[in-house]
Amino acid sequence: MVTPLQIIGHKNSGKTTVIEDFLTLLKQRQQSVCVLKHDPHQAQMDQPGTDTDKFTTAGAQTAVLVTNQAVMSHQKAPQVPQAKTLVQTYAKPGQFCLLEGFKTAPYPKVVLLRPGETAAVFAGIKQIIAFTSLYPQAVPQNCIDFSTTSERQVWLQRYLKKEGF
């Protein structure tokens, strides 16, 4: 079984910072982790001018780069794959799976609020388990303080215990 947890929020809310801190704790616990990131800004993994970039530019639907330490895949997709499909494809049984973004996916979500934001901004989103912020002094009082690595990791430890992980 895979245990997914989504980290969502607007740009510059601290999603990557939270995921890095969660990864550090999970690694200390010797837990295998899969991270899936949704980027609506059309980011590119390939470096311009590399062989794999040339292959995809020339028309390859899939280009795979294999090194001594990693396998990297670049696949063109006519539409954004569903998060559930990505979890089933990439996460292995027993792994903890962190998802950055994918707001409509059917998994528990931690929302990161930016200064001035309120929970109302995420009113249509389902399965929110926590509203948090790296800037707790600038958001509503019912928001969990995620301003330090320690606070983020303590929250995750409690969550993992509650989930039987």
CA distances from 63 to 45, 80, 117 (A): 11, 18, 40
pLDDT per residue, tens digit, the chain (165 aa), is 889 999 999 999 999 999 999 999 999 999 999 999 987 666 666 778 888 888 888 888 888 888 898 888 878 888 888 999 999 998 999 899 999 999 999 999 999 999 999 999 999 999 999 999 999 887 777 899 999 999 999 999 999 999 888
CA atoms within 13 Å, Cβ hemisphere of 63: 16
Structural domains in the chain, CATH included, are 3-38+80-162 (3.40.50.300), 46-78 (no CATH)
For residues 24 and 70, what is the distance between their CA atoms, to the nearest angstrom? 20
- Contacts for 150 with CB less than 8 Å, ≥ 6 apart: none
pTM of the model: 0.87
